[in-house]
Amino acid sequence: MQCEISVLELWIMQEEESLLTFPCQFPIKIMGVQSPTFETSIVMVARKHIPNLGEGSVKSRTSKTGKYLSVTITFQADSREQLDNLYRELSARDDVKMVL
């Protein structure tokens, strides 16, 4: 059985884990093409992973051209696993262009 992760990837993961102490306040920014349902659908996904997400935790901003929307969600992250699962689900969406 071959290892599917490189030494560099493993090192980066270990370094990232050591930078965060849980629980912590964590902002995640999701960018996609502006649509009437983009923000709502992103918040619905986030609520699966962040059950106590408050309405004041979500901020949106339209790009200068009006083509894109960024949604920033700031929440209390309880674990690395929670962050990874949220990131994976958001990144897998067709309407999401980038997750930071």
Question: Are 26 and 77 within 8 A, CB to CB?
Answer: yes
Distance between CA atoms of 46 and 86, rounded to whole angstroms?
7
Identify the CATH number of the domain defined by range 22-99.
3.30.70.260
pLDDT at position 62 is: 97
Per DSSP (E only), the strands in the chain are 24-33, 58-62, 68-77, 96-99
For residue range 26-75, what is the model confidence (pLDDT) as tens digits? 999 999 999 999 999 999 999 999 999 987 999 999 999 999 999 999 99
Domain boundaries, the chain: 22-99
Is the pTM higher than 0.85? The answer reads no
The Cα 18–Cα 68 span in angstroms is: 33
- Give bridge partners of residue 76 from the DSSP assignment: 25
